[in-house]
Structure 1
Amino acid sequence: MITVQNLCKTYKVARRKAGMREACRSLFRREYEEIHALDHISFQIGDGEMVGYIGKNGAGKSSTIKVLSGILTPDEGTCVVNGKIPWKDRISYVKDIGVVFGQRSQLWWDVPVIDSFELLRDIYSISQAMYKNNLEELTELLNLSELLKTPARQLSLGQRMRCEIAASLLHSPSILFLDEPTIGLDAVSKLAVRDFIKQLNQDHKTTVILTTHDMQDIEALTNRILLIGKGRILMDGSPEELKQDAASMDEAVVKLYRSLEI
């Protein structure tokens, strides 16, 4: 169970006008703007749910995922995941979660993928029996047998993302955070990733929180949508409720953004 109450996170961003004079001036007097990435957001997610967390760029999606995964500490509010506070109980907490950031890698770039997996086994203190079973299952489901001996830098984007997902699941987490997991993937790779996520949820009841701009991913995988905008939760409902009379999910989202002026 994930319970989030009145979560807030603010960033200070340096701003200046263009030009050499303004650049020199900023050396002595820097101006800052406060960005409210999260503005008192609250929600609950039950065990085994598959939730789409959507919003425009800068809406607060990644900040929420980073707080939920223990990377960021919020300014205000509370967050309890499986009875633990992510940023306070981080060592024990990370054994409960898997995280995939589409634009960041947890694989070591110049070594074969299997070496990265072995290192993650030691980091998470995975027993040899569990590691062997999980590796065999993930290798079969994600078709990794030809990739394990290949350095990460020599993989295509689709191949690397399949390996990234496997790396995040070696320790059998009960919650999986997916931040843009299909970004840049071709149609075949997207379908393979979607099928795997659905099977993972069905077989292991893994809770999945998916952030993406690809509404086809949302429609194919989730049964609940949280829409965030300007740091606030603007909608909590099903994909059907969001789509209503629109021809597509993309059209429905654009109409909703316009109606909410975000």
Structure 2
Amino acid sequence: MTDSDDRDDRDFIALDGVEKVFDVRKKTGFLRRERRRVRAVDGLSFRVGRGEMVGYIGPNGAGKSTTIKMLTGILTPSGGRLRVAGIDPARERTRLARRIGVVFGQRTTLWWDLPLIDSYRLMHRMYRVPDARFAANLDRCVELLDLGALLDVPVRQLSLGQRMRGDIAAALLHDPEVLYLDEPTIGLDVVSKAKVRGFLRDLNAETGTTVLLTTHDLTDIEQLCKRVMVIDHGRLMYDGPLTGLHEAGRAERTLVVDLERELPPLDVESARVIRTDGPRQWLAFPAERSAAPLVAAIAERYPLVDLSVREPDIEAVIARMYEDRAVSWEPGRGGAA
């Protein structure tokens, strides 16, 4: 591989100072409207290498979907430079479409009134996928995403979880080099989530597909991504491993413990009881730590019936990051101005 090829792989997705500003008109009185500018993405810069699987997270309205739409060519940046596989999405959207796959959790790319299989056949022709390759990709997706019984069902009759699996398959029929996933496990039960995560892990490992994943489910990120980026108010707040994010935001997981009988608050190391309700207790512990030692300690000392682990809320993590940043900037504390 040449130095140029290596650089292209490292900068497979590249954003430099990208901005997106919307003009919004708001009614302020009879026949009067106020015009204001909303900066949805504000000087965003990052790189994603070929074959990486990266989590792209943030609260609602942070600019995640706007970024994805610019990466696909649906929206044109107001400023900055953006390239995907060396292509400017806004200028060469059709050319780029053959190299990317997109799944938007709340919108479908499938034909609403057609059976699922007919949507796939239409995509076969639209993307001009060779017959043998289409058949192989379809068979693999149908098997691993458990779609066999749904192929003859009209899309409008599918549940949200079924449609999500159908959309993921549709996005992969033409062998995209990049896959953008927006809430891919929304509406899925626990078993279906596990199947989708396993499918995406195998896809990335076997084909080297680059994946940018936006989600509010931190378990998706934890099980799929080695790297996570946090965006808020259109700016990149964090770029690194998930453990580092938990530490930066002082994130906590919650262990929900069901006991055989009501007891005083449990006394275990590295955790604190934050709530009790009869035989059920909620314990908070640092998100970067494994739950296994805590579970073992409780099981050894207390009459345990059941338990579950709840992941930290991403909005709470980001709020704590803001709190810490504000404190570090206070005069007299030695923080950056």
* Residues 243 and 252, structure 1, Cα contact 8 Å, conserved in 2: no
* Residues 56 and 213, structure 2, Cα contact 8 Å, conserved in 1: yes
> Match of 1:94?
97
Q: Distance in 2 between matches of 1:93 and 1:16?
A: 39
Structure 1 residues 143 and 252, CA gap change in structure 2 (3 angstroms): closer
1:246 Cα shift?
3.4
Give yes or no for the alignment of 1:81 onto 2:84: yes
Match of 1:175 among 173, 178, 182: 178
Give 1:184-203 correspondences, 5 Å limit.
Answer: 184-203=187-206
Structure 1 residues 180 and 255, CA gap change in structure 2 (3 angstroms): closer
Q: SS of the counterpart of 1:104? A: coil
Larger Rg: 2
> Match of 1:247?
252
Match of 2:72 among 47, 69, 72: 69
> Match of 1:39?
42
The one-letter code matched in structure 2 to 1:131 is: F
Give 1:22-171 correspondences, 5 Å limit.
Answer: 22=29, 25=30, 28-171=31-174
The one-letter code matched in structure 1 to 2:19 is: C
In terms of mean alpha carbon deviation, does 164-173 or 240-249 score higher?
240-249
Give yes or no for the alignment of 1:260 onto 2:322: yes
Number of residue pairs matched by the alignment: 254
1:251 Cα shift?
5.2
1:14 Cα shift?
2.3
Q: Distance in 2 between matches of 1:107 and 1:130?
A: 20
Q: Distance in 2 between matches of 1:29 and 1:2?
A: 43
The one-letter code matched in structure 1 to 2:113 is: D
Higher relative helix content? 1
Higher relative contact order (CA closer than 8 Å, sequence separation 6+) = 1
Q: Distance in 1 between matches of 2:314 and 2:170?
A: 34
Q: Distance in 1 between matches of 2:187 and 2:153?
A: 21
1:15 Cα shift?
2.3
Match of 2:18 among 7, 28, 45: 7
Tell me, which stretches of 5 or more residues in structure 2 are unaligned? 1-11, 254-310, 326-337
> Match of 2:333?
none
Percent identity among equivalent residues? 49
* Residues 110 and 167, structure 2, Cα contact 8 Å, conserved in 1: yes
Higher relative strand content? 2
> Match of 2:308?
none
* Residues 40 and 77, structure 1, Cα contact 8 Å, conserved in 2: yes
Q: Distance in 1 between matches of 2:36 and 2:158?
A: 40
Deviations 1:65-101 (A, max 9, x none): 0000111001111111111111111111111100000
Q: Distance in 2 between matches of 1:113 and 1:189?
A: 18
Deviations 1:164-204 (A, max 9, x none): 00000000001100011122222222222111111111111
* Residues 4 and 78, structure 1, Cα contact 8 Å, conserved in 2: yes
* Residues 54 and 229, structure 2, Cα contact 8 Å, conserved in 1: yes
1:16 Cα shift?
3.5
TM-score, scaled to structure 1: 0.92
* Residues 242 and 252, structure 1, Cα contact 8 Å, conserved in 2: no
* Residues 102 and 180, structure 2, Cα contact 8 Å, conserved in 1: yes
In terms of mean alpha carbon deviation, does 8-17 or 127-136 score higher?
8-17
* Residues 56 and 212, structure 2, Cα contact 8 Å, conserved in 1: yes
In terms of mean alpha carbon deviation, does 240-249 or 206-215 score higher?
240-249
